[in-house]
Amino acid sequence: PPNSTDPTEWVGSVEILRQYLLNEEPVRYGQCWVFSGVLTTLLRCLGIPARCVTNFESGHDTDCSYSIDCHYDVEGNPVDDLDDSIWNFHVWNEAWFKRNDLPPGYDGWQAVDATPQEASESIMRCGPCPVKAIKQGDVYLPYDCGFLFAEVNGDKIWWKVEKDGSMAVEYIDRNCIGKCLSTKAVGSDDREDLTSTYKHPDGSLEEEEVITKVAHFGSRKEWSIKSVNRDVQVEIGHETAIMGNEINIPLQLTNTSSNSSRTISLSAHIKCAAYTGRTDNKQPLIKSITNVLELSCNESDTLTISILPEEYIKKIRAGSTLRLFLQLSVQETKQVYATQETFLVKKGSGVMVTCSSTTVKQYEDFDVTCSYTNTTSTKLTRSYFYLEGPGIRRSKKLYCGTVQPNSTIERTLTLSAYRVGERVLFVKFCNSKVPNAIEKVKIIVEEAEPTEVI
């Protein structure tokens, strides 16, 4: 919309807070990573220790079952309108403070979500919730512990939906939700892994005890869900998918039975998915395949799904991914296996940044040259560079106009820095058709010489 900024274009909190201070109106627009960054800044300004936390394969439980429920019809097609969702990632905050409203032992890091996904007591909010309570499965503690537990440790359950609407549990995966919980390490750009603070190791006795405890509080506790030993295993390969190239997804199927062959019916659907995991009718179908494989005892076979550029390049949207829905059924044992995998289609950054000097004096001007190479066959209109960095004077926009296909555009501007030490300047090329075209450059800022006072 006019007079708004795409959430992917922000690279820091400063400009957002400046706009709000000057205009005293809502700043449009943000998504979870934007809200989390702003909340981190505000909490730290108040003296409250805070950090952003990113959860990959983040569950979104909509019915307080504390599980992530997926549904397929009898033909293997996903029933999107019944599903919970799994976000490629979700970002919230942790803040460190005491919890005098809870029994002893729950002080410390508290999860607070600046982008609440479900109403809590009729209000859109989420947290604060002790991270310790999430790990222990204390889903009855305030605030919103059950929802946060499902985000990081919910079971993913597949349900088969019959034509009459009845459902039955077909498969359960206990290890796919909540991956690589991350924050920025103190004093470096390294990733600090927080997974062990939110959950016990997958498959451990401690995790099993927590899952059993939580099941007593869920809205689907009347269902008896048991793990099944499966004699057909599937591994989905992950190759780097580059926009404009053919994408190959290898599926390796193995019959682990030592005394019987297996006949496997396979159904695969590939759709565009938003980062929130949603694949409704607005997200186009890319490809569907069905196949039948015969595997002898202990035999493996690989089936490769190939997606040509012309099959996806006009359907995939900025910020979206490819999601594979896979269902297998074994004729001899009636076993069913269902899973989903997400594939990010990468684009080259195309952005280059150079500074007139990588060591500058405090408050002194220096030049920054930004360039972008458009390697697509599409004309990019209303483009601009956006520059921002902690300790750098004022964020800047450099308008580029139209960038023609297979051409390079270059702009130079003058900046200055007011904070001493190593600074990072982020430069982003902004265009709705080119997400995540960003580069950074490090600058050493030396203390200014003291001026003589007469």
CA-derived radius of gyration, the chain: 25
pTM of the model: 0.82
Nearest of 216, 214, 83, 57 to residue 149 by alpha carbon: 214
Structure tokens at 333: 């044992």
Report CA 58 to chain centroid distance, whole Å: 7
Task: Report whether 395 contacts 413 (CB < 8 A).
Answer: no
Task: Count other Cβ atoms within 10 Å, centred on residue 145.
Answer: 24
Could you give the CA distance from residue 12 to residue 183 in angstroms, rounded to a whole number?
Answer: 16
pLDDT in tens, 423-441: 999 999 988 777 678 899 9
Task: Write the CB contacts of 117 (distance below 8 Å, at least 6 apart in sequence).
Answer: 60, 90, 126, 147
Residue partners of 419: CB distance under 8 A and separation at least 6: 362, 390, 391, 445
Structure confidence by residue, pLDDT tens digits, 322-374:
889 888 889 998 887 878 888 888 776 678 888 888 899 999 999 999 999 98
Check if the beta carbon of residue 280 is closer than 8 Å to that of residue 256. no
**Cis ω before 386 (30° cut-off from 0):** no
DSSP state of 392: B
pLDDT of amino acid 166 = 84
Q: Say what the pLDDT of residue 452 is.
A: 46
Up-side HSE of residue 395: CA atoms within 13 Å toward CB?
22
8 A C-beta contact, residue 350 and residue 375: yes
pLDDT of residue 348: 65
Question: What was the pLDDT predicted at 309?
Answer: 84
Q: Give the whole-angstrom CA distance, residue 270 versus residue 279.
A: 10
* pLDDT for residue 93: 98
Catalytic residues: 32, 90, 113
Question: What pLDDT is attached to residue 385?
Answer: 92
- Count CB neighbours of 58 within 10 A: 28
Please give the Cα distance from 54 to 275 (Å, whole number).
Answer: 13
Residues in the chain with pLDDT < 50? 452-454
How confident is the model at residue 101, as a pLDDT?
A: 96
Does residue 18 sit in helix, strand or coil? helix
